[in-house]
Amino acid sequence: MDLTLDPEARANLAALRLRVRATMEGVLSGLHRSPHQGQSVEFAEHKEYAPGDEIRHLDWKAYGKLDKYYVKRFEHETNLRAYLVVDASASMAYASAPASKLTHASIAAAALAFLLVRQQDAAGLCLARGDDVRFLPPRASPAHATAILDLLGQTDARGPTRLSSAADLLSEKARRRALVLLFSDLLDGGDGLAKFLQLRALGHEVAVFHVLDPAELTFPFEDPTLFLSMEDDRRIEANPLALREGYLEEMGRFLDEARRRCRAAGCDYELLRTDEPPDRALLRFLLRRDRRWTGEAVAREHPGAG
């Protein structure tokens, strides 16, 4: 099998790397400004300092005793295993904005992979494309984060949306508590979302990044248009002006239902629009997790507070 990338594919991968780096920088900058950053939760262990560790977590008392630098790690920072699930079905190829839904999801997922590895947590990848699921097990090395980025950069969107295949695989592979991050437009003919939300009942944390194009959200079409399904042979020629009101009502119900089901299951939900920088949604998600960790730590220290 020839794995050599052609010049166009290499250029696309290089552009993806640049955008992932910019997203990471945006998230880290936002976290640095956040008043919540640096709030500790339950202390778990020490580890010897390595380049890239947060200097603010250095234990100076340990340095005074042992003449070595050690970093404090906290309960939420230890042994975290995250599975990044990216929907690579044909509908994810849609793009009215500069980036397709798959590209936008790949940027966000790869940025999170590098952020996880940066704090010495393990990141894995599931690529869901019909019944074909590509799987990279979680590892905590920078080389593995690069492998995740490379696989995402070489993946094209095709096949039907069947998220249940990826959820079934994770229910087998994730034997211990993990963080599952789903990036999808949720345009699933079945009910793959329900299977992912069921992972919460198995003790996993689940976050859903709902990836949608602005045209899907606003239906800006005006002239008579031939609409083609990206995952089968369906097509319809219609006057968009006659459809817009009904379409927007249905889209509103679709979004509300996705949010409601995620929240009812105790899962995070973020709308990831392809016309907005992906670091905005990632930052909202990370800050919300940070506030939740802080609240849980306060509740453990002061059970009767509030």
Residue 10 tokens read as 């290499």
The string over 235-263, giving b where at least 16 C-beta atoms fall within 10 Å of a residue's C-beta and e elsewhere, is eeeeeeeebeeeeeeeeeeebeebeebbe
Q: How far apart are CA 280 and CA 111, in angstroms?
A: 12
CATH fold of 13-30+79-292, please?
Rossmann fold (3.40.50)
Identity of the residue numbered 71 = V
What is the spatial distance between Cα 152 and Cα 123, in angstroms, rounded to a whole number? Answer: 14
Query: From first to last of its 306 residues, what are the pLDDT tens digits of the chain?
Result: 233 445 665 666 677 777 777 777 777 777 655 544 443 344 445 566 666 566 666 677 766 777 776 666 544 444 588 999 999 999 999 999 888 999 999 999 999 999 998 888 899 999 998 888 999 999 989 999 999 999 999 999 998 888 999 999 999 998 888 999 999 999 987 788 999 999 999 999 999 999 999 999 999 988 888 787 777 778 888 788 889 999 999 999 999 999 999 999 999 999 999 999 999 999 999 888 777 755 554 455 445 544
Q: How many CB atoms lie within 10 A of CB 73?
A: 18
Domain locations in the chain?
Answer: 13-30+79-292, 36-75
Give the angle subtended at the CA of 31 by the CAs of 81 and 207, to the nearest 5°: 40
Under DSSP, the state recorded for 188 is -
Element (H, E) at 295: helix 278-301
pTM recorded for the entire structure: 0.78
Measured from the Cβ of residue 147, the count of other Cβ atoms closer than 10 Å reads: 15
- Give residue 112's identity as a one-letter amino acid code: L
Two tokens, residue 238: 């219609």
User: Which stretches does DSSP call E strand in 130-282?
Assistant: 132-139, 179-184, 205-212, 225-228, 235-238, 268-273
260: left (phi over 0), alpha (psi -120 to 50) or beta: alpha
Q: Name the phi and psi angles at 181, rounded to 5.
A: -120, 110
Residue with tokens 């080389």: 143
Structure tokens at 283: 């930052």
- What six digits make up the tokens of 271? 């709308």
CB-based burial label for 158 (10 Å; 0-12, 13-18, 19+): middle
